[in-house]
Amino acid sequence: MRIATITNFAYIATVVLTLSSGIALFMASNAERAEREAIAHSRVFDALSDELEKEAFALTDLVREAVIKQRPEDIQAWRQKLQQDIKLEDQLIRLRDRKATTEEVLILRDGIKMLDTLEDEQQAAIAAVEAGNAREAVELVFGQQYEEQLDQAEYRFNHFRSLTDQRTDKAVAEATALSQKLRTLSEIMVGLTALLFLFVLGFIIKHRILRPVVTLSDVVNRLASQDYAVETPVLAQVDEIGDMAQAIHIFRENGLARQRLEQERDAEWACRTLLARMSQRLQGCDSHSAIIRVVSRFAPQIIPEMGGRLYILDTQKNRMKCSARWLLPPGDETTFPPESCWALKRGQLHCPSRDTVDMPCEHLPPEIAIRAICVPLIAQNKTIGLLTFDNAAEKEPPYAYLELMAETIALALANQMLRDTLTEKATHDPLTGLRNRHNLDETLRALVEQAMANNSCLSCLMLDIDYFKKLNDNYGHEAGDKVLREVARILQETAGENGIAFRYGGEEFLIILPDTTEAAARTLAEQLLRNVLAHRIFYESQDLGQVSVSIGLATWPQHARATNLIRAADLALYMAKEQGRGQIVIARNVGTPSL
């Protein structure tokens, strides 16, 4: 018997089993439909009976109000409500033959009959009211008999709903059991189909594949060793051998495809690993320069097919400034406003070549903009920077990893900005922008150690604004704050990069001058005196007059030991103020200090 014959028999049996399984599933579906219909009928009965019961109580409330208040509008409201109640009764009566049992119909009929009796008594009460016999009307609607009839009607409707719920639960249980049996039968047939298929496959492998496959053994062995470069032989005969050759050819193609997928998976895994490693390194960065170095190191490895740039937003100038570049030739790296980039305007990745028609970014040359990819760096709903990539190969880029990289870098930059801000607030005076005394001791100790190592000098200027209290009293504290800010700015501009300025406290300032001799420090102090005196300070268009400072100068190691350099400068400042202010006093020499 040929393999094709065996296969045909197996196919017929499979079709029969599949059809049987489908029929069983269809019957299970019908059982579920019956279950849903039973539930729907029960909901209709429950809803109508509940609404009718509520209407009966509402009608009772209206007739009682009409009997007590005897107002025409109350009687009219009762009549309108009575018409609604009658309509509901008719609607419920029309639905009573929808698969309701005889007992349910009888109880429903009794309930409606009791409601009719109550309506008759209500009409009699209304008639008594209209005839002027209010006492009789009250006895009719407030009497014991009326209350008992109302309770009986409520009991009938509750009993009716209970019976319908019991019938529905029973129908649902029966339908569920039938559906479960049919589904089990369907699963058994599917299992038989699978067993039949496995049996036929085993039979073919065990009894029919012998010598004909020898001609393909070498190809199979090489394919088994994942040597997908082997060429499969083309066999022209139309039989099982030809089919096997075709199957081996397909297997080879699938192997090549799987090999490509594995390579892509390995590349994707490597990319994820690099992204995770970059994220870890970014968490350890303590400065913007460290973040830029990490990005410059990892970005070319994560996306090796595309060169790119990292821009950071200069918030003061509102310009995007290039901070890093990779895999790109030297080119134009001018700054540009955020409005020139569609990614920054839209707040999401922008790639003109991704869609049929789109707008290129204006900050890139036209020949690059059409294939470029821009990814905004956004953290905490704030734009921080931008990543741009040049997709010169015009391959499908990994957009998800580009966005993930951008999110990681943006978060690192945002955290660093937050740390810088907190450090700035902790170490700098908020009014003048100068350093405060938070890390003065540590800074001075480090500078003294540096001076000792380099065998150089270290000078210190202690400054005090003359008559500052009088200025505050005459012009106010806001004017005084303006003077403090202006003097602090003059100190920074005069000292430049050679000195470190501090706000020591109140109107006192301190400048530490590394690698500065006494003579050079005195020259700088004289320049400070001149610059402060020459600067006119205005507050709200009012000239505050000339402002002068007194300066005390001390140099290590001539005037003080390492531990009391500031103390020596402070004493010199005290002498300058005692001698008339607006002058410079140099501390006394104490010889070579012993540390």
456 phi/psi in degrees, rounded to 5: -120, 180
Is residue 507 among the annotated active site residues?
yes
> Does residue 95 surpass a pLDDT of 60?
no
Sheet holding 458-465, edge to edge: 500-505, 508-514, 458-465, 549-556, 584-586
Give the range among 171-180, 318-327, 328-337 with minimum mean pLDDT: 171-180
Residue 3 has pLDDT above 60, yes or no: no
Rounded-to-integer distance, Cα 448 and Cα 457, Å? 9
Please tell me which residue in 396, 507, 526, 540 is annotated as part of the active site: 507
Instruction: Tell me the C-alpha distance between 140 and 63, whole Å.
Output: 10
Task: Evaluate whether 521 touches 459 at the Cβ level (below 8 Å).
Answer: yes
| Whether the Cβ atoms of residue 366 and residue 384 lie closer than 8 Å to each other | no
40: pLDDT confidence band, cut at 50, 70 and 90? low
The structure's pTM equals 0.47
Check residue 595 and give its pLDDT. Answer: 32
Highest mean pLDDT pick, 6-10, 330-334, 511-515, 560-564: 511-515
Q: How far is CA 111 from CA 27, 33, 106, 194, in A?
A: 39, 31, 9, 59
254 and 263 Cβ atoms separated by less than 8 Å: no
Q: Which of 585, 563, 565 is nearest to 575 (CA)?
A: 585
Instruction: Name the residue among 379, 380, 373 with its Cα closest to residue 402.
Output: 373
Residues with Cβ within 8 Å of 81's Cβ and at least 6 positions away in sequence, in order, are: 55, 58, 59, 62
pLDDT at residue 207, rounded to an integer:
54
Which residue do the tokens 């992204």 mark? 275
- Whether pLDDT at 509 is above 70: yes
Q: Which of 108, 68, 105, 62 is nearest to 89 (CA)?
A: 108
Residue 311 pLDDT > 70: yes
Q: Return the amino acid letter for 377.
A: L
Tokens linked to 54? 């509520």
For the chain, the distance separating the N- and C-terminal CA atoms, rounded to the nearest angstrom, is 108
Cα–Cα distance for residue pair 120/140, rounded to 1 Å: 10
Sequential DSSP letters for 272-318: HHHHHHHHHHHHT--SHHHHHHHHHHHHHHHSTTSEEEEEEEETTTT
DSSP codes joined into one string, 32-83 = HHHHHHHHHHHHHHHHHHHHHHHHHHHHHHHHHHHHHH--HHHHHHHHHHHH
CA distance 491 to 551: 12
Q: Rounded distance, CA 72 to CA 126, Å?
A: 10
How sure is the predictor about 462, in pLDDT bands with cuts at 50, 70 and 90?
very high
Q: Which residue has the higher pLDDT, 158 or 405?
A: 405
Cα 529 to Cα 511: distance, rounded to the nearest angstrom: 14
Q: How do beta strands 307-314 and 382-390 pair?
A: antiparallel
Longest Cα pair distance anywhere in the chain, in angstroms?
128
Q: pLDDT by residue (tens digit) across 332-364?
A: 678 999 999 999 999 999 999 887 788 999 999
Residue 6's pLDDT band (boundaries 50, 70, 90)?
low
Q: Please give the share of the chain, as a percent, with pLDDT higher than 90.
A: 25
**Contact indicator for 540, 475 with CB cutoff of 8 Å:** no
Give the residue-averaged pLDDT of 64-76.
76
Q: Are 572 and 590 in contact (CB under 8 A)?
A: no
**Cα–chain-centroid distance for residue 516?**
54
- Binning the chain into helix, strand and coil, the percentages to the nearest 5 are 65, 10, 20
Predicted confidence (pLDDT) per residue in 111-136, tens digit: 777 777 777 777 787 777 777 777 77
pLDDT over threshold 50, residue 218: yes
Please, which residues bridge with residue 461 across strands? 511, 553
3 state DSSP class of 209: coil
Mean residue pLDDT across the chain: 80
Do 220 and 233 contact (CB within 8 A), yes or no? Answer: no
Cβ neighbours, 10 Å, residue 347: 11
Give the CA radius of gyration of the chain. 47
- Cβ of 237: how many Cβ atoms within 10 Å? 10
The model's confidence at residue 190, banded by pLDDT at 50, 70 and 90, is: confident
Is the distance from CB of 322 to CB of 311 less than 8 angstroms? yes
pLDDT > 60? residue 293:
yes
